[in-house]
Amino acid sequence: MTPPAPPEQGVSLDPQDWNAFRAQARRMLEDALDHVEQVASGPVWRAPPAEARARFEQASPAAPAELAETHQRLLTDLLPYSSGNGHPAFMGWVQGAGTPVGMMGELMAAAMNANLGGRDHMPIAVERQIGLWAREWFRFPETSEGLFVTGASMANFMGVLAARTRAVGADVRRSGVAELKRPLTAYVARTAHGCIARAMDMAGLGSTALRLIETDQHHRINLAQLREAIAADRAAGMQPFLVVGTAGTVDVGAVDVLEGLADIALREDLWLHIDGALAALGVLSPAVAPLLAGIERADSIAFDFHKWGQVPYDAGYFLARDGERLRDTFASPAAYLRRDGRGLAGGDFWPCDYGPDLSRGFRALKTWLTFTTLGTDAIGAAIARTCELARMLAREVEARPELELLAPVALNIVCFRHLGADADTLNAEIVAELHESGRAAPSLTTIGGKIAIRAAIVNHRTGPADILNLVEGVLDTARGLARRVA
């Protein structure tokens, strides 16, 4: 019998001709930079054409292709059809715009291809440093720990889990919540983001165990009703364990009275988690920070670097006042994750002990590069400018008799509507027409039962001309629709 041949030497998936690859890679970098530099020049959105979609509908590719050819396909079929969140006329939902610096951070991180689950390497130190910055921004104590996650949805889920562990002890991780004698209940304003209810659901506590509290005329949680709901649940044999405050509600940008929530959490012995996905980073702006007073008293904060922080997607963050609570909630010893005092398996901060992920990318680098290169003063100024633009938009709306402002403007979100006949249908049509024309991209929400045009100004590229373009776009579109009916 002939012995099997040894595996071939020198075979890998790396380029065979590095010089040719470098030349092609530089062309790709130029195209990526062109895309970002010229992001404002085209329409904010265009529908992906059927031909472009069809060209992606191919069987799993067994044979190789030239990079020049796949690159060309990206240029024709992908880059022109983004969702437009980098464009200054994009005001839909709550989305950050990214920056060219952040893009370079992604590139460098991809070059390292680091896995930030743990171990002793420099990328972990970079992520750790951002935790120290967050500690400083939110005036959290030295016991605090934080880590990157996909987004605030995940960070809010972690807040629910950590609060649960604190309320009933880490044994619940083995026995499960079904064994609890008293059902756990949590509290949030009715206007909170849907991911809070989903977090309760995913934690096995059930979304009905989340009590939805009414709001005041500023769209903030009603503190008197909150106290009543907690008392009623205690009287009924429940165990209240968590109150979630929102810093920047997704529909109108309201900020709960965080000091009031912190007082109630203290008195009632509840975990206070802040969903600061949108607005927690307002602490970087001296103009916005006072609105967030009390956030420093939270037990945990969820926030998104990919929104007001302008870091490219995705870059969510979870920060806990007491890092040990996170270890209690997530650390799971395993033989193959053995820690050693020395060598690569050393290191004293293994993010996998503090959250649900084991393998984790290097989100910290694009964040570090963005913040270090641009500086927090400039990022804070961009945050403040979005709020100024929102106030400008509110004034423009109030100056037009055809338009009506539907909610007070606390931060950077403006909800308004056109008062034409059959207003709900009309406003939904206006928004769809604006998208399809590529002129502007606001989104829709419902305020007090009325369909509202919602402009969330998050993008650092948006300026006064884009605000006027939105207002005029709404009015022009309404006139166009009226002519079409006539």
Contacting positions for ligand PLP (CB under 6 A):
94, 151-153, 193, 195, 246, 248-250, 275, 277-278, 304, 316
Query: Residue 87 in contact with residue 441, Cβ under 8 Å?
Result: yes
Amino acid at 80: P
- Nearest residue by C-beta to ligand PLP? 151
For residues 448 and 436, what is the distance between their CA atoms, to the nearest angstrom? 27
Minimum separation from the CB atom of position 405 to ligand PLP (A): 21
What is the torsional sign of CA 379, 382, 388, 389?
A: negative
Minimum separation from the CB atom of position 352 to ligand PLP (A): 20
Phi-psi region of 176 (alpha: psi -120 to 50; beta: other; left: phi over 0): left
| Span between the terminal Cα atoms of the chain, in Å | 89
Whose Cβ is closer to ligand PLP: residue 102's or residue 473's?
A: 102
Whose Cβ is closer to ligand PLP: residue 274's or residue 352's?
A: 274
Helices (H), 149-257: 152-168, 172-175, 194-202, 223-235
For residues 360 and 148, what is the distance between their CA atoms, to the nearest angstrom? 9
**Rg, the chain, Cα only:** 25
Could you say which DSSP state residue 63 is in?
S
Minimum separation from the CB atom of position 275 to ligand PLP (A): 5
Whose Cβ is closer to ligand PLP: residue 152's or residue 168's?
A: 152
Whose Cβ is closer to ligand PLP: residue 44's or residue 188's?
A: 188
For residues 303 and 318, what is the distance between their CA atoms, to the nearest angstrom? 7
Minimum separation from the CB atom of position 118 to ligand PLP (A): 24
Minimum separation from the CB atom of position 195 to ligand PLP (A): 5
Whose Cβ is closer to ligand PLP: residue 403's or residue 409's?
A: 409
Whose Cβ is closer to ligand PLP: residue 189's or residue 451's?
A: 189
For residues 439 and 433, what is the distance between their CA atoms, to the nearest angstrom? 9
Minimum separation from the CB atom of position 261 to ligand PLP (A): 15
Task: Calculate the CA dihedral of residues 300, 302, 305, 309 and round it to 10 degrees.
Answer: -80
Minimum separation from the CB atom of position 467 to ligand PLP (A): 21
Helices (H), 308-351: 323-330
Minimum separation from the CB atom of position 101 to ligand PLP (A): 21
Whose Cβ is closer to ligand PLP: residue 258's or residue 474's?
A: 258
In DSSP notation, 232-262 reads HHHHTT-EEEEEEEEBS-TTT--B--HHHHH
Whose Cβ is closer to ligand PLP: residue 153's or residue 376's?
A: 153
For residues 29 and 25, what is the distance between their CA atoms, to the nearest angstrom? 6
Residue 373 burial (C-beta neighbours within 10 Å; 0-12, 13-18, 19+): middle
Whose Cβ is closer to ligand PLP: residue 430's or residue 441's?
A: 441
